[in-house]
């Protein structure tokens, strides 16, 4: 039976794992909004099937689907994928689903952040978001895991933990006036410590340009192991992202993690920024409250936005010269994993995110 607890994860000895830790499963939604996903979401759904099929060779995959799309999704997805009927507003489960926590006994619980679709009525990406606000609780009840509810407006795409007490995020996102700016930095830090079970928070000022989510960390940097980070990079000083990468590198180079270790930084070459084409933009329905995407709108492309499973890594590909070098870096950093390139990742990017943004890992715990 799932309970909503009045204590905090930190008090109870629970922590947020690193992305590289063992997983029992992976949760995704199902794209169907015609004002977010072009051509009735059919191109995106094909990419979802590719991703879900590959991840299901590594761990259990669950896809949450609306009643109207259940039969379609069930027919498209392989039998190895569990399909659950659930009401949602959109499919960004990294941000709307719960953050799975573990303790040293192998128990699993979840943190349920407040969610306002990336800014609510002040720059948010869609309206309403009432169904997405309930996703985390529903998942925890399905799995019979206890729930911690935080009032902090946060998305896990904006938070990176190393599993050993260090959290990486951006001020642009968590301290934004459309999230938690009214609380102040100290109060936000305390909430992160309490509900992620961390000791140290490293703040970067901002995330990548052209990112609709107000600077999520998951396009810029990610932990690949305790004390080791992968950082998106370019040596081109005329590139609009150059200053952001230099700024992040300088801060991270001066930082230590919660255990006092100097952070080792690996550089990941960036792909070129993408733009909406006329054909793509014409495939969208127009709806009030949905972020406008028109011809020429630049899109933040990144290889950092990958999913690492127990045996596979799903990395976006863009038909870009840097696709193969990026995959080679991941093969070197994760020699025990099979690196799988998602060739049509552009379809996810058109909706506003990428592979990491649509996947929520369910951690297995140390002994389970």
Strands 108-114 and 159-161: unpaired
Rg (CA), the chain: 19
Q: With beta carbons less than 8 A apart as the criterion, state whether 333 and 230 touch.
A: yes
d(CA 179, CA 339) in angstroms, rounded, equals 35
Handedness of CA 203, 208, 209, 212 (dihedral sign): negative
d(CA 128, CA 126) in angstroms, rounded, equals 6
Backbone angles phi, psi at 361, to 5 degrees: -70, 135
The side-by-side arrangement of strands in the sheet containing 338-342 is 307-308, 312-316, 338-342
DSSP per-residue string spanning 99-149: EEEE-TTS-EEEEEEE--TTTTTTT-SSS--TTGGGHHHHHHHHHT--EEE
Active-site residue (options: 26, 64, 222, 357): 357
d(CA 24, CA 1) in angstroms, rounded, equals 19
**Length, in residues, of the chain:** 368
Helices (H), ranges, the chain: 9-12, 42-55, 70-76, 93-96, 135-143, 171-174, 185-196, 242-254, 278-282, 323-333, 346-351, 355-358
Q: Which residues contact 2 (CB under 8 A, 6 or more apart)?
A: 140, 141, 143, 144, 145, 146, 147
Strands 166-170 and 264-269: unpaired
d(CA 73, CA 76) in angstroms, rounded, equals 5
Distance of CA 92 to the CA centre of its chain: 8
Q: Is 208 a catalytic residue?
A: no
Active site residues: 357
């Amino acid at each position: 039976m799932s309970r909503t607890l009045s204590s905090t994860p930190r008090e109870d000895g629970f922590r947020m794992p690193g992305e590289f830790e063992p997983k029992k499963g992976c949760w995704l939604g199902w794209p169907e909004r015609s004002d977010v996903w072009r051509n009735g979401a059919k191109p995106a759904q094909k990419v979802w099937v590719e991703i879900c099929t590959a991840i299901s060779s590594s761990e259990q995959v669950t896809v949450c689907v609306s009643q109207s799309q259940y039969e379609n999704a069930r027919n498209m997805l392989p039998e190895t994928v569990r399909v659950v009927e659930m009401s949602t507003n959109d499919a960004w489960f990294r941000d709307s689903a719960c953050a799975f926590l573990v303790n040293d006994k192998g128990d699993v619980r979840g943190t349920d952040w407040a969610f306002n679709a990336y800014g609510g009525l002040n720059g948010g990406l869609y309206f309403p978001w009432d169904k997405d606000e309930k996703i985390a609780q529903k998942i925890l009840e399905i799995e019979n895991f206890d729930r911690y509810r935080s009032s902090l407006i946060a998305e896990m795409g904006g938070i990176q933990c190393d599993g050993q007490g260090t959290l990486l995020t951006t001020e642009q996102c968590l301290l934004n006036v459309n999230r938690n700016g009214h609380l102040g930095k100290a109060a936000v830090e305390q909430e992160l410590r309490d509900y992620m079970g961390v000791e140290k928070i490293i703040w970067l000022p901002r995330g990548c340009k052209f990112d609709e989510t107000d600077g999520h960390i998951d396009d810029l940097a990610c932990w690949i192991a305790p004390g080791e980070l992968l950082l998106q990079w370019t040596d081109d000083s005329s590139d609009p992202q150059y200053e952001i990468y230099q700024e992040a590198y300088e801060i991270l180079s001066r930082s230590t993690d919660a255990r006092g270790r100097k952070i080792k930084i690996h550089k990941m070459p960036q792909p070129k920024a993408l733009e909406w084409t006329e054909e793509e933009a014409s495939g969208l329905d127009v709806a009030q409250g949905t972020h406008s995407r028109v011809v020429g709108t630049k899109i933040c492309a990144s290889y950092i936005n990958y999913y690492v499973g127990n045996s596979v890594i799903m990395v976006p590909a863009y038909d870009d010269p840097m696709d193969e070098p990026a995959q080679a870096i991941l093969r070197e950093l994760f020699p025990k994993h099979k690196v799988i390139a998602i060739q049509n990742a552009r379809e996810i990017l058109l909706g506003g995110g990428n592979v990491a943004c649509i996947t929520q890992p369910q951690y297995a715990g140390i002994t389970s």
